[in-house]
Chain A
Amino acid sequence: DAGVIQSPRHEVTEMGQEVTLRCKPISGHNSLFWYRQTMMRGLELLIYFNNNVPIDDSGMPEDRFSAKMPNASFSTLKIQPSEPRDSAVYFCASSWAGPDTQYFGPGTRLTVL
């Protein structure tokens, strides 16, 4: 298995632009998580999907952030409009079920100028 796949690996954009991050979970996994990692705040859970349905989005910082999972093999995290404080590494992770062992993707390093 190729593991969790994320794209792009690096994204540099200007403030106000729309950013879309993509994730392909491991085949057969029912749960998908989006995280953000910064030096100041560490690793934070943004949103959690189970069977393609958003279960907990309490970690999404504000309305500028949205996430979708149209099918079991694809998810997106969108930021519109982006701001410099959104600069971070965004990770996607999947698991067989809920709080089971999580498998992380390589992350997307986002820089908003």
Chain B
Amino acid sequence: KQEVTQIPAALSVPEGENLVLNCSFTDSAIYNLQWFRQDPGKGLTSLLLIQSSQREQTSGRLNASLDKSSGRSTLYIAASQPGDSATYLCAAPNTGNQFYFGTGTSLTVIP
């Protein structure tokens, strides 16, 4: 069974700082790698999806990379803002459409 780990579990940074969130997975037979954001009491919002054949994907201040061989993905957030405060989760679905989520990184950006 796929195991997805996210480190750190919590992160607190001052506004304006660039930061990196990490996601690792044990089975490299993934279909894609997805990053989500979850605000307290809300559902998940999709941020980025990297196909298994891709190396990275960018959206605004967010950049996600994927290294299947090492079982790692990173989410880079540039010039962090207080509005970025949320829990960030990664998911690694396999070709059988089984979704495995990490436990998330809780991010706090201090004004």
Point out the residues of chain A lying under 8 angstroms from B93, CB to CB. 98-99
In the assembled complex, the Cα of A45 lies from the Cα of B44 at a distance in Å of 14
Could you say which interface size class chain A belongs to? 20 to 34
In the assembled complex, the Cα of A107 lies from the Cα of B46 at a distance in Å of 15
Whether B99 pairs with A99 at a CB distance below 8 angstroms is yes
Q: Is B43 in contact with chain A by the CB < 8 A criterion?
A: yes
CB distance from B39 to the nearest CB of A (A): 11
Whether A42 pairs with B102 at a CB distance below 8 angstroms is yes
Beta-carbon nearest neighbor of B93 in chain A: A99
Which residues of A from 61 to 93 have beta carbons under 8 Å from B?
Answer: 91, 93
Contact with A along B13-49 (1 / 0, CB 8 A): 0000000000000000001101010000011111001
In the assembled complex, the Cα of A31 lies from the Cα of B89 at a distance in Å of 21
Whether B98 pairs with A45 at a CB distance below 8 angstroms is yes
Whether B89 pairs with A43 at a CB distance below 8 angstroms is yes
Q: Is B101 in contact with chain A by the CB < 8 A criterion?
A: yes
Whether A48 pairs with B97 at a CB distance below 8 angstroms is yes
CB distance from B86 to the nearest CB of A (A): 13
Q: Which of B32, B43, B97 contacts A91 (CB 8 A)?
A: B43
9 contacts between A and B (CB under 8 A): A45-B98, A48-B97, A91-B43, A98-B31, A99-B32, A102-B44, A104-B43, A104-B44, A106-B42
Q: Which residues of B contact A (CB under 8 A)?
A: 31-32, 34, 36, 42-46, 49, 89, 91, 93-94, 96-104
